[in-house]
Amino acid sequence: MKKFSISVCIVSGAEAHRIARTLESVASWASEIVVVLNDEVRDGTEEIAQQFGAKVFREPWKGFIGQKNSAADKCAEPWLLNLDADEVVSPQLAGEIRQVAGRLDGPYAAYEFPRCTFYAGRWIRHGDWYPDRVLRLYRKGTAHWAGEEPHAHLRVNHPIGRLDPDLLHYSNESIDRTLDKIGPYSTAFVRHQLARGRTTTFLDLAVRPFWKFFRAYFLRLGFLDGWPGYYIAWMNAFSTVTRYAKVLEAQSGQRKAET
């Protein structure tokens, strides 16, 4: 297949168990694949990436934002496509990306597209998890990664277009894996809330989780995803109540320290 003027950049940890699927989805048409690997990883991820022709760079962990910007800086092609090691470019999305890269100019400096997650044996197409649009394709030099750890986002000061096909997402292999994320993400949320001086009250704890469930399961039709949709709605509600309970706990600790 003809190679297109696209650099695929991937920030990776120990992903030997799944990164091959990601690389296989782009290797036949991307001119360049750049993988920035956590320096401590020794599980075979580097060797798998090299099998697909990737350029692998080992670096100390700088956080998602620093690592993603580092990967982008190493890319040579005019278009950059950022992927995680648990994402796969569908054939339909690959076709539209190649069309974008094949044009010498166009009205948009970046493109976003929906991401569809595979969970509990099915594709989740409703609720809070879909369409989950992500901004990942952009012209080199028109954007950079910003945000607050661990939630990096692409900051673009130019017009943004939309592509319709899905990016396929295999992030949550099991319910246990989903639950494992609640602790670290809620801790980061507490840190951000306190740093901004935002006050949480019992009303947040009482109302926000129930609204989260109602919106996901009923308003966003999560019930159409069967029992996984029901569980996801409750899991998101539990994640929400955990975040705000931990903020209240931290605020209480601050008040005690001040007295």
Q: DSSP secondary structure string, 24-77?
A: HTTTTTEEEEEEEEETT--SSHHHHHHHTT-EEEEE---HHHHHHHHHHHT--S
- Count how many domains the chain has: 2
pTM, entire model:
0.92
Q: Are residues 214 and 116 in the same domain?
A: no
Q: How many CA atoms lie within 13 A of 259 on its CB side?
A: 6
Q: Are residues 116 and 184 in the same domain?
A: no
Q: Are residues 141 and 223 in the same domain?
A: no
Helices 175-196 + 226-258 axis angle, to 10: 40
Domain final residue, candidates 142, 169, 196: 169
Reading the chain (259 residues) residue by residue, the pLDDT tens digits are: 689 999 999 999 999 999 999 999 999 999 999 999 999 999 999 999 999 999 999 999 999 999 999 999 999 999 999 999 999 999 999 999 999 998 867 899 999 999 999 999 999 999 999 999 999 999 999 999 999 888 899 999 899 999 999 999 998 888 998 999 999 999 999 999 998 888 899 999 999 999 999 999 999 999 999 999 999 999 999 999 999 999 999 998 887 777 6
Domain final residue, candidates 117, 137, 169: 169
CB contact at 8 A, 33 and 27:
yes
Q: Are residues 127 and 186 in the same domain?
A: no
Structure tokens at 79: 């278009």
Q: Are residues 101 and 124 in the same domain?
A: yes
Q: Are residues 122 and 226 in the same domain?
A: no
Domain final residue, candidates 169, 200, 233: 169
Q: Are residues 37 and 165 in the same domain?
A: yes
Q: Are residues 206 and 188 in the same domain?
A: yes
Q: What CATH number has the domain bearing residue 72?
A: 3.90.550.10
Three-state DSSP state, 13: coil
Structure tokens at 119: 């969970």
Q: Are residues 48 and 154 in the same domain?
A: yes
Q: Are residues 248 and 135 in the same domain?
A: no
Predicted pLDDT at 117: 97
Rounded CA-CA distance 74/113 in Å is 24
Domain of 82 in residue numbering reads as: 4-169
